[in-house]
A and B are shown apart, each in its own frame.
Chain A
Amino acid sequence: MKTTLRIVVIVVLIAACISSESLSADFGGPAGDGWHTWRVAAADGDELQIYVSIELGEPLRLRVRGNSVCSDNFDVEAIDLGLVEVDQSIGWLQKHITPRSELSSDVLLAIALHPGDRPVTVLASIVKFGTDRKIREEALFWLGQSDSDEAFAILDRMLSAGRGPRYPVGSLH
Chain B
Amino acid sequence: MHLRPKTIFAVLALLAMSSSLAQSADESEQLKIAALEALMSAPPERALPLVTKVLNSNNSNDVKSRALFVLSQIDLPEAQAQLLDVARSGDGELRGEAIRMVGIGGNAEALAGLADLYSSGDEDVREAVLEAYLIAGDTGAVFQIAANANDAEEFGAAVEMLGIMGAQDALRRLRERSNFSEILIEAFAISGDAETLRELALDGSNPETQARAIEALGIVGGESVNATLVEIYQSTDSDAVREAALDGMLISGHDEGVLELYRASDDVREKRELLEALTVIGSDLVLDVIDEALVGDR
To the question of whether A and B form a pair in one complex, the answer is yes
**A142-173 interface (Cβ within 8 A of B):** 142-145, 147, 152, 155-156, 158-167
Asked if A145 and B38 make an inter-chain contact with CB atoms under 8 angstroms apart, the answer reads: yes
The CA-CA distance from A155 to B60 in the complex, in Å, is 17
Chain A residues near B30 (CB-CB < 8 A): 133, 137
Instruction: Known contacts A163-B59, A166-B21; decide if A143 and B38 are in contact (CB<8 Å).
Output: yes
Chain B residues near A142 (CB-CB < 8 A): 38
- The secondary structure that dominates the A interface is helix
Q: Cβ of B235 < 8 Å from any Cβ of A? A: no
Chain B residues near A143 (CB-CB < 8 A): 38
Chain B residues near A166 (CB-CB < 8 A): 21, 24-25, 28
**Interface footprint category on A:** 20 to 34
Q: Cβ of A141 < 8 Å from any Cβ of B? A: yes
Chain B residues near A61 (CB-CB < 8 A): none
Q: Cβ of A90 < 8 Å from any Cβ of B? A: no
The CA-CA distance from A144 to B34 in the complex, in Å, is 10
Q: Mark B198-218, 1 if CB is under 8 A from A, else 0.
A: 000000000000000000000
Q: Within the complex, what minimum Cβ distance (angstroms) separates A124 from chain B?
A: 12
Q: Cβ of A140 < 8 Å from any Cβ of B? A: yes
Q: Cβ of A136 < 8 Å from any Cβ of B? A: yes
The CA-CA distance from A164 to B26 in the complex, in Å, is 10
Q: Cβ of B112 < 8 Å from any Cβ of A? A: no
Interface segment among B39-47, B81-89, B144-152, B220-228: the answer is B39-47
Instruction: Known contacts A159-B53, A166-B25, A167-B28; decide if A147 and B35 are in contact (CB<8 Å).
Output: no
Q: Cβ of B37 < 8 Å from any Cβ of A? A: yes
**Interface footprint category on B:** 20 to 34
Instruction: Known contacts A144-B41, A162-B58, A163-B58; decide if A137 and B34 are in contact (CB<8 Å).
Output: yes
| Among candidates B38, B54, B59, residue contacting A144 with C-beta atoms closer than 8 Å | B38
The CA-CA distance from A171 to B162 in the complex, in Å, is 51
Q: Within the complex, what minimum Cβ distance (angstroms) separates A93 from chain B?
A: 20
Chain A residue nearest to B24 (CB atoms) is A166
Q: Within the complex, what minimum Cβ distance (angstroms) separates A147 from chain B?
A: 7
The CA-CA distance from A160 to B32 in the complex, in Å, is 9
Q: Cβ of B76 < 8 Å from any Cβ of A? A: no
Chain B residues near A164 (CB-CB < 8 A): 25, 28
Q: Cβ of B12 < 8 Å from any Cβ of A? A: no
Asked if B25 and A165 make an inter-chain contact with CB atoms under 8 angstroms apart, the answer reads: yes
Instruction: Known contacts A159-B32, A159-B53, A167-B28; decide if A141 and B38 are in contact (CB<8 Å).
Output: yes
Instruction: Known contacts A145-B41, A162-B58; decide if A155 and B35 are in contact (CB<8 Å).
Output: yes
Q: Within the complex, what minimum Cβ distance (angstroms) separates B44 from chain A?
A: 12
Chain A residue nearest to B21 (CB atoms) is A165
**A71-118 interface (Cβ within 8 A of B):** none
Knowing that A137-B34, A159-B35 touch, tell me 19 more A-B residue pairs with CB under 8 angstroms: A127-B31, A133-B27, A138-B34, A140-B34, A142-B38, A144-B37, A144-B40, A145-B38, A147-B46, A155-B50, A156-B50, A159-B57, A160-B57, A161-B32, A165-B22, A165-B24, A165-B28, A166-B28, A167-B24
List the interface of chain B (C-beta within 8 A of A).
21-22, 24-25, 27-28, 30-32, 34-43, 46, 50, 53-54, 57-60
A-B contact pairs, 13 of them (CB 8 A): A127-B31, A133-B31, A136-B31, A145-B42, A159-B36, A160-B53, A163-B59, A163-B60, A164-B28, A165-B21, A166-B21, A166-B28, A167-B27
List the interface of chain A (C-beta within 8 A of B).
127, 133, 136-138, 140-145, 147, 152, 155-156, 158-167
